[in-house]
Structure 1
Amino acid sequence: MAMTSELKENFILIGVFGLFTLALMVARLLLRKIQKHSLSADDYLTAFAFICFAARMTIAVLILLWGTNSTDLSVPAGGQFKEPGIHHREMGSKLALANRVVYATYIWTQKAVIIVLYNRIPPGLLWPGRILTASWVALAVTFILVLVMSFSECSPFHLYWQVVPDPGTCAKATLHSYIHTGANALTDLILITIPLPWILRESWSRTQKSLLFFLLFLGLFLIAFAFSPLPVVNQNTSRTHQNALQNAEAFLLAFLANIITIAGLDRRYSAEDDDIDGIDHHDVPWPNSYSNRFSTGSGFRSLFDKKIIVTSKFELQHQTVSPSRVRQMFPRHPWTTPKRMSDENLIIQARGGSGS
């Protein structure tokens, strides 16, 4: 295949954005090892996202080299396609089908990393557990929907990679593009909305809030990039333009998912929020595996605000664990017995006092 200027531009885009995207994930994992922290759930998800994106880069290069059954289908001068050309296009079409799954998996995995980060820096909401649980459900449902639509347009199934005769419009995956775009933009909006209450927190400095504003501003660009796969009516969007937007989306999502951990801000923020119990949550191997405290009742402000205001019915629950489980979860803290706290002691500590 001749190396055209458009092909060179696409290779440069894939290489530049791809290397920076992979570098962000590698930097995160290396810093975790250098700082001798045990790997947590979001670290494992980041490693999985690294594999997905590396596979996506390889697939994208092969698709550009071989083409697909939905790009540049003009009949050659001889009146028919040559056998090697047909085979390459069939292989490229199969890879394009696989690329939809791999790219969606990468995107949704990075979003899962962000939600795990939200678990470690609890939002100042009335029901943070319910909101984050709903976010997990929305992420799972939209991901399954995108995967199902990736294989639902062409019937019979081999039309996805059929070159001759013309497979029709199903090979262009127009419906999949709309579903993927809608689900992607919706989940991006959810991820941006969750941390908005942090801006109102009195315990955060102006610098911390400015950083949050900056990250939310980048999140708006992420929503804009999510619309890149949409076919534009009466306009021929070039393949280079779409590749640029998709690679920019992949890089920006990797940046948002990893920059807070790379800078160590997640440990700083969570330390400010969780100095009530003195637990280093970053050493917990899986989110929410440590002892949970939660409260229900009207007139309640989150424990994460370090204050408890009771105006009416109030219920406080505390879950304890066995000594062996405590030692397993917190190897750096030589606790020999589970720490049991009464409701009164917990309230005193939440107010900043000292309790027996």
Structure 2
Amino acid sequence: MAYDPDQAQIVGYVCGTFSLIILVARLGISRWRRESIDLGFFLVSLSILTITGRLVMNEFYLKLPTANDVLHNPDTPDVTSNEALKVGGILVLLARVLLTAALWLQIGILLVFYARITSNIFWVRRLIWVTWIFVGATFVAVVLATFLECQPIDLYWQIEPNPGQCVRAYLQLLIQAIANIIADIMLLVIAYPLMRLSKRSLSQTISIYTLFALGTFCMVITIIRIVLVFSENSSQTTRSLWASVQMLVACFVANAPTIYGSLRVVQRKRSEQRSARGYAEPMRRPSRPERESWIKMTEQAAPPPQIPVDSPTTPPPILSPHHDNPYPATRLSTASSTEDKPHSVKKAV
């Protein structure tokens, strides 16, 4: 199905706007909760800049012709200006780099999220570092493929003689899509310990399975994009429209867990205050920086805690007749001390 440039532009505006709303909402909630500025904060800020830049690119390059559309799509009007082809080709290349940056930044945002809630699991920490290396290497590979698939680079805006298949940028698309799918699979493996959480509430169970479903949906969108781009001879409107959809889905999947978690923590604290004081208080901004997760790992997914061993300098634990657990050391209550006195007097007699 061929898309009109106006359709691609409208979809691009809608998806870009919703993506920016998600990212700005995450930053706003983070600052409202007075959370410390960490790597995730900078990645979200960079995402806002890259998506804004891509929206600006879409405004111009979808109105300009590209060499691939002129050569392979009969509906493209004839071009009389080589300068328009050159400007359109350059803007398309820049937009592809910005799209790659936006998608890879969302992967980084999820890695920061998972690193915080699975930090006690050794193999997950290792896999997160491996994923960071994979993300950096594949980003460089996609950017190089974007600019080097046609050599020399001016083949991207050349009509005669025919520049060949490189103007379709299939190699760049495949490297980007395959790397994205592999990264999504690695993220699902990193998130697997969440499935082993014990004593989950119903809302946590729904949230975890929704997270996995959305991660799978990201891969489905990527596959659909590949199929449609190949079926439409790499039409730029098709590439742009489905890239916008993929960007929105990636932004939602990467930021929804943190937004949902922040709101859930605030709601839980408000509920605790209400139950403790007997009345509902208005939601206030926290007075100091917070860093609390809506979901935590348990002993089933994390290494068992170290049990302290008594040393010669450590006094023996105090045992009470009514307490069997020696850890931590407990003091006898007044009631228990009173009950013990008759026994001690009887022994003395």
- Structure 2: distance between partners of 1:109 and 1:98: 16
Unaligned runs of 5+ in 1: 272-279, 284-300, 311-341, 343-350
Per the alignment, residue 198 of structure 2 pairs with: 202
Q: Give the one of 171, 187, 190 matched to 2:186.
A: 190
Q: Give matches, 1:240-251, under 5 Å.
A: 240-251=237-248
- Structure 1: distance between partners of 2:210 and 2:156: 42
The amino acid of 1:44's aligned partner reads F
C-alpha root-mean-square deviation of aligned residues, in Å?
A: 3.5
Per the alignment, residue 39 of structure 1 pairs with: 37
Q: Give the one of 291, 299, 318 matched to 1:282.
A: 291
- How far the C-alpha of 1:233 sits from its partner, in A, is 9.3
1:49 has 2:47 as partner: yes
Inter-CA distance 47–65: structure 2 relative to 1 (3 Å threshold): same
- How far the C-alpha of 1:27 sits from its partner, in A, is 0.6
Quote the sequence identity (%).
25
1:172 has 2:181 as partner: no
1:235 has 2:231 as partner: yes
Decide whether the 8 Å contact of 1:17 with 1:248 is kept in 2: yes
- Structure 2: distance between partners of 1:355 and 1:209: 37
Q: Deviations over 1:192-232 (max 9, x none)?
A: 22111211111432321211101110111100122345366
TM-score (norm 2): 0.71
- Structure 2: distance between partners of 1:159 and 1:148: 16
Per the alignment, residue 226 of structure 1 pairs with: 222
The amino acid of 2:50's aligned partner reads C
Inter-CA distance 75–44: structure 2 relative to 1 (3 Å threshold): closer
The amino acid of 1:91's aligned partner reads V
Q: Give matches, 1:138-177, under 5 Å.
A: 138-177=134-173
- Structure 2: distance between partners of 1:241 and 1:5: 6
The amino acid of 1:198's aligned partner reads L
- Structure 2: distance between partners of 1:130 and 1:355: 38
Unaligned runs of 5+ in 2: 269-288, 293-297, 308-313, 315-324, 331-349
- Structure 1: distance between partners of 2:7 and 2:48: 23
Q: Deviations over 1:235-268 (max 9, x none)?
A: 3366554433222211111111111222235995
- How far the C-alpha of 1:58 sits from its partner, in A, is 1.3
- How far the C-alpha of 1:87 sits from its partner, in A, is 1.4
Inter-CA distance 33–229: structure 2 relative to 1 (3 Å threshold): same
Q: Give the one of 111, 114, 119 matched to 1:115.
A: 111
The amino acid of 2:218's aligned partner reads L
Per the alignment, residue 68 of structure 1 pairs with: 66
Larger Rg: 2
The amino acid of 2:209's aligned partner reads F
Decide whether the 8 Å contact of 1:69 with 1:162 is kept in 2: yes
1:262 has 2:271 as partner: no
SS in structure 2 opposite 1:202? coil
Q: Deviations over 1:161-218 (max 9, x none)?
A: 3244432211211111111111111111111221112111114323212111011101
Inter-CA distance 123–170: structure 2 relative to 1 (3 Å threshold): same
Per the alignment, residue 317 of structure 1 pairs with: none
Per the alignment, residue 134 of structure 1 pairs with: 130
Inter-CA distance 122–233: structure 2 relative to 1 (3 Å threshold): closer
- How far the C-alpha of 1:117 sits from its partner, in A, is 0.5
Decide whether the 8 Å contact of 1:107 with 1:250 is kept in 2: yes
- Structure 1: distance between partners of 2:89 and 2:230: 24
Inter-CA distance 73–248: structure 2 relative to 1 (3 Å threshold): same
- How far the C-alpha of 1:308 sits from its partner, in A, is 3.5
Q: Which has the higher contact order (CA 8 A, sep 6+)?
A: 2
